[in-house]
Amino acid sequence: MRRSFFPIIFVIAGLLAIWYAAVVPMNIKMALTAAERNGFVVTPVGAKERRDRSAMLLVVQNTFAIKETFALERPRLPAPHQVAAELWDSTINKKITSKRSLVFHGWITLSSTLLGFAIGTGLGILLAIGIVYNRAMDMSVMPWAIASQTIPILAIAPMIIVVFNSVGLQGIFPKAIISAYLSFFPVVVGMVKGLRSPDQMHLDLLKTYNASSTAGFWKLRLPSSMPYLFASLKIGIAASLVGAIVGELPTGAVRGLGARLLSGSYYGQTIQIWSALLGAALLAATLVALISLVQRLTLNRMGML
Amino acid sequence: MSRDSVIEARSLNLTFATNDGPVHALSDVNLTINKGDFVSFIGPSGCGKTTFLRALAALEKPTSGTIRVNGLTPDEARQKRAYGYVFQHAGLYPWRTIAGNIKLPLEIMGFSKSEQLRRTDEVLRLVELEDFSKKYPWQLSGGMQQRASIARALAFDAELLLMDEPFGALDEIVRDHLNEQLLELWQRTDKTICFVTHSIPEAVYLSTKIVVMSPRPGRISDVIESPLLAERPLEIRDSPEFIEIAQRVREGLRAGHGSE
Ligand SMILES: Nc1ncnc2c1ncn2[C@@H]1O[C@H](COP(=O)(O)OP(=O)(O)OP(=O)(O)O)[C@@H](O)[C@H]1O
Ligand SMILES: [Mg+2]
């Protein structure tokens, strides 16, 4: 723990430094326009004059405005502390039932993420079992699974939403289907590899016991596949979250992290967009960390750690 | 076929089709093994020892010829769970404890919970691993793992044991000790054992019958019935009879090489 602490801090500090450094040139033109409106003398005078100037040059010529670039209301690129403040405000200071609470929107997205992840994982495991045990499925399923992943999700998501809407299904379920669509694939690939991972000697051993293929599944193939399954689940849960967010975009949903991104971009609320993005990233990190924890516990119990 | 013969192989041929053409792993093998025999198979690498054992266990299908195990085909014998097989590498399941590994065949064969426990305890004591039952395979030395895999093969009490170089990777001292234990077990239980080895002293020390094999094509070049008594202290390896048999095995091996 202690050993990994400093490298992590170091990397985060580096990223923050780059972020802050980028804020200044990104926002300088807006900051100068605002300053000029408030009666400051800006070189060169007039927004039109400045439009084609290099941002770096403007920063050098107007060092007084650097401070302003970190405090704009609708910056092109919000500074980290602005995003942090917004995150704090919209999670801690708002009632979680409020439409302005990020926790509320996060929960909406999380619930369809989890439902979709459960469906996708279940489907993925079943398909993998089919592929490993059935020759016809072995030959036929994988090409379709691969093909399904080459279709851009942004193209297919609206169709899924519309189709489900037309049969009266709204809200969590269509979004969960998109999550499942994205998350079943890594599970299929990982589980097929995992179920096929036992070496020949372990398989021969079962044969000398005249074991049934059911016994072979429960006592050999399934336990051997566990490390592969967990690796897939980590990819799958992150894909599920992306699926749920994407599922919220095309309908102009009013609830969920995707809706926050969408409304933020309608109204130029960059801080809101960034805080929703960061919120989604934190959620993804938490989910992956949870799966890692379950993985540790499971593999530890199996004596494989 | 004599009444108490456990294994009968008649004009056995086994050819593997490979990319570089056929490999004659076994060519015209004839062998009878009687109940209670301890048979060692010895011969240079690639002479078909493993292939023969696997054919007995129905893990490999002969190209021609017949095998009878207790009067049945190998596959029927396999379905009757007539033998325990010890692989060259211990092959324990890493997610099961030592006791869990030994229970594996018992679970599959449907023994009751209490019977599973009783038998696991019994064979663990037999191979002196009772203190390690809750450990995982990686927590044991190579020799201990190999003992556990022998215990696993003994757990369901098959009359016939097929052992493919079980002590191949072990040092001399551990090997001597395990040889003594194995011999003692064999004397006590009246099992029939087929045992593959590369070591002449090991073969002579353990066996009632030594099958010398030679390669390309894999075949039996000599079968030596040992006149040694069943009771064999380790010191017997310095006796004139022992040295004489070892000499004959060595000649058999050399002859097999010379005919190439
Ligand atoms: N599955 C297989 N496919 C093709 N050839 C094989 C196969 N198994 C064994 N062989 C070949 O058959 C021959 C006999 O192999 P086998 O494993 O029985 O030898 P062995 O006497 O056990 O040797 P070693 O002492 O090295 O274990 C070898 O030439 C080997 O290359
Ligand atoms: Mg071999």
Q: What is the pLDDT of residues B43-78, one digit of tens each?
A: 999 999 999 999 999 999 999 999 999 999 999 999
Query: Total domain count for chain B?
Result: 1
Q: What is the pLDDT of residues B206-233, one digit of tens each?
A: 999 999 999 888 999 989 998 887 778 8
What number is the average pLDDT over the span A121-134? 96
- Please state, for a pLDDT cut of 90, what percent of chain A lies above it: 60
Q: Do the chains contact at A210 and B79, CB–CB below 8 Å?
A: yes
Domain of residue B145 covers 91-157
* CB B24, CB B216: distance < 8 Å: yes
B203 in any annotated domain? no
**What pLDDT is recorded for position B1?**
46
User: Which of A208, A215, A303 is opposite residue B95, by nearest beta carbon?
Assistant: A303
Question: Quick one: which ligand is closest to B213's CA?
Answer: 1
Residue A49 pLDDT = 85
Q: Percent of chain A beyond pLDDT 70?
A: 98
More confident of the two residues A217 and B230: A217
pLDDT mean across residues, chain A: 91
A102-301 belongs to CATH 1.10.10.60: no
- Using the Cβ of A223 and the Cβ atoms of chain B, whether some distance falls under 8 Å is answered with yes
B125 assigned to some structural domain: yes
Q: Is B25 among the domain residues? A: no
Q: Is pLDDT of B2 > 60?
A: no
B192 falls within a domain = no
Could you tell me the end-to-end alpha-carbon distance of chain A, in angstroms, rounded to an integer? 17
In this structure, is residue B124 part of a structural domain?
Answer: yes
> Any residues with Cβ below 6 Å from ligand 1, and which?
B 16, 18, 23, 25, 45-51, 218
Which sequence spans correspond to the domains of chain A? 2-77, 102-301
Closest CA in chain A for residue B94: A304
- The model's pTM is 0.86
Closest by alpha carbon to A209, among B137, B44, B59? B59
- How far apart are the CA of B247 and the centre of ligand 1, in A? 26
pLDDT in tens, B102-146: 999 999 999 999 999 999 999 999 888 999 999 999 999 988 999
Task: State ipTM.
Answer: 0.90
pLDDT in the model for residue B260: 45
Q: For residue A44, is pLDDT > 90?
A: no
User: Is B143 a domain residue?
Assistant: yes
Give the ligand whose atoms come closest to the C-alpha of residue B43.
1
Q: Provide the pLDDT for residue A153.
A: 87
